[in-house]
Structure formats: C-alpha cells, structure tokens
Amino acid sequence: MRVLSGIQPSGRLHIGNYFGAMRQHLKLQQDNECFYFIADYHALTSNPSPADLARYSLEVTMDYLALGLDIDKTVFWRQSDVPEVTELTWLLSCVTPMGLLQRCVSFKDKVAQGLSPNHGLFAYPVLQAADILIYDSNIVPVGADQKQHIEVTRDIAMRFNGSYGETFVVPEAYIIESVAVVPGLDGRKMSKSYGNTIEIFEPEESVRRKIMKIVTDSTPVEEPKDPERCNVFALLRLVASPDELAEWEIRYKNGGVGYGQAKKRLAELMIEFFRPFRQKRAELENDLGRVENVLAEGASRAKTVAGQTLARARKAVGFGARAMANE
C-alpha cells in the first residue's frame, strides 16, 4: 500500500508530534511504500519568515532521520521541490464546489486562532487533495479529528473522475492508533501555538526544568490523587512501562506521594526514551549537506510519480496533443 502524509515546518517538533503522528509514520514504513513530505507550501498560509521556513524544513528532516526514517524504504522530500502539485491544485480547483470548502472546519478554526483569513488558508483542502492524489496514494494516516480532510479529497477525486474519466486513485483514511491528547506544560493540548511544548531534541536539562513546571492541582502530598486528571500521569503513560505505570497509579490513589516525585521520574523516563536518538541528531546537524541530499533524492523520486499523474490529469482535461481516438 502507498501511504502519504505531510508535516508542516512550523517550528521545532515536540513530543506531542512524536507520540501522535511521527511514531505512526515510522511504524508504517516497515510494511508499506511511504511518501512523506515537508509541507512548506502549506506553511505559507501563516506567512512565516523565509529564514524560519528554510530552517524549520531542515529541522523536521533531521528529526525524522534521527528517529528512524529509512530513506531506502521511504520517499521524503520538500513539497516545494515538486511544483507539479500546484498545477494539479488548479485542475482540481475547477471541479471543487465552493460549498465543499465553506463546510471545512479547519479554515474557521485557524481564523479563530488568529491567522489571517487569506485565500491560501481557505483553499488549503484543494492543495491537500493534490498532495494526496498526485502520488496515487492508497491510504492517508490521520487522527480521528482530521477524517474530514480525507473525505474532502475523496469527494474532489470522484468529481474529477466523474467529469473526465478514471484518473485518480481514490484514497482511504487510515485512523492512526489513538493516544490520549498529549498535554502541554499548562494542561492544554501540547501545541507550538500555546508555547507549552517539550521539544524532542531540546537539551536534557531544559527538559527537566520544563517538566518540573507542569501545572498540577494543589492536593497535599498525604492525600489521594486522581491519576486520570493529572497532566504528569498522562505523560507517564507515554514512557513508563506497564508495571511501573500500575505502581504509580496505586501510589496516586493511596496518597503519600507528591507531584514533584512523579515529575522527577517523568523527566528521567522522557530523557531516557529519546537519548538513543540524540547522537544521530547531532551528527546530522553537523552534516547539513547530507540532509539536503536526502531531500534532493526524495524530490527526484517523488517528481517521477507526480509527473506521471499530472500527465494523466492534463490529458484528461484536454491539454496538449491528446489522441483523437474517438474521431
């Protein structure tokens, strides 16, 4: 099966990114043909500085490589290095009803978060559909809350196929294994926009300091605590063994344990979890030429597939020297 997914270069990746999408991406590459890209066209909707966009694109690449991306099995590239996707976006735009875009909740959510309501943000689902369709993707891993994105892509693909003949593979959503929402330092969902993140590869001492600042309630040490309502316990679920987690649950419910103790252990486990990947990440940071080569090779492979699909779509709509088979 061909798997397609993209990640925006909007900042340093954090543990919420890892325990959400990234871990699934790395797992899927074992038994599938995976196409993963840095969505820098999409990132333009928030008007980042050119320097930030370039730097974060490299940061994302290094993080994926350090965490186990296998470039022999997986195609990994920068979206903007395959501009064929923008032409396909226009072809798809011309069969996409306005009402379909107006019903997309992502636009309203982004505007509510303070982003400028530009056309790119509104038309985002069409570019996303082009990303998926141009690589003949079979499945697209998404969280349950993102299923609408794939439904929009399927709708657009079927409208195009209905108008011009069978041109695109109609993809299926692959709902990634659910984990509890990864809480940030303030208890809200971990997000760069909230400034409450723990970066995957930030210095270990910084990780310790941040974890010690996680917001908890004021329950006294001697009193029982509810693990289901504790941000620290929610993060322990991600890195503690089942046996240790069970012990912490008992200690919480029995009382006599302070949140500070749990935070110290969480910091140890979090640092231990990502420590094996740190050396490779440091090596990549000192060899940016290698990182660029990975992106260039990935773009070349992606471009071959994209070109073939775009040629089919161009022929379908009547561009170029189309064979007059029916005349």
Encode pLDDT of 110-125 as tens digits: 777 777 788 988 999 9
Task: Name the residue with tokens 């903007």.
Answer: 80
Q: Which helix (H) or strand (E) holds 108?
A: helix 105-112
CATH class of the domain comprising 2-181+288-317: alpha beta
pLDDT at 148: 85
Whether 253 is catalytic is: no
pTM of the model: 0.91
> Does 2-181+288-317 match 201-282 in CATH topology?
no
pLDDT at 103: 86
pLDDT at 321: 56
Structure tokens at 128: 């996303």
Q: Which of 27, 110, 264, 303 is catalytic?
A: 110
Distance of alpha carbon 163 from alpha carbon 63, whole angstroms: 42
- Amino acid at the residue 101: L
Whether 280 is catalytic is: no
Task: Note the pLDDT tens digit of each residue in 250-275.
Answer: 999 999 999 999 999 999 999 999 99
Q: Which fold would CATH assign to domain 201-282? A: Tyrosyl-Transfer RNA Synthetase (1.10.240)
Q: Which of 192, 264, 280, 315 is catalytic?
A: 192
Distance of alpha carbon 45 from alpha carbon 10, whole angstroms: 11
| Residues in the chain where the model's pLDDT stays below 70 | 178-180, 321-327
Structure tokens at 323: 């064979």
Nearest residue to 77 (alpha-carbon basis) of 18, 35, 127, 133: 35
Whether 192 is catalytic is: yes
Residue 170 near residue 18 (C-beta atoms within 8 A):
no
pLDDT at 86: 98
Q: Which of 27, 189, 264, 303 is catalytic?
A: 189
User: What's the helix, strand, coil split of the chain in %, to 5?
Assistant: 60, 10, 30
Domain residue spans of the chain: 2-181+288-317, 201-282
Residue 115 near residue 45 (C-beta atoms within 8 A):
yes
Tell me the β-bridge partners of 76: 36
Nearest residue to 77 (alpha-carbon basis) of 58, 63, 92, 90: 58
Category of 168 on φ-ψ map: left (φ > 0), alpha (ψ -120 to 50) or beta: beta
pLDDT at 325: 47
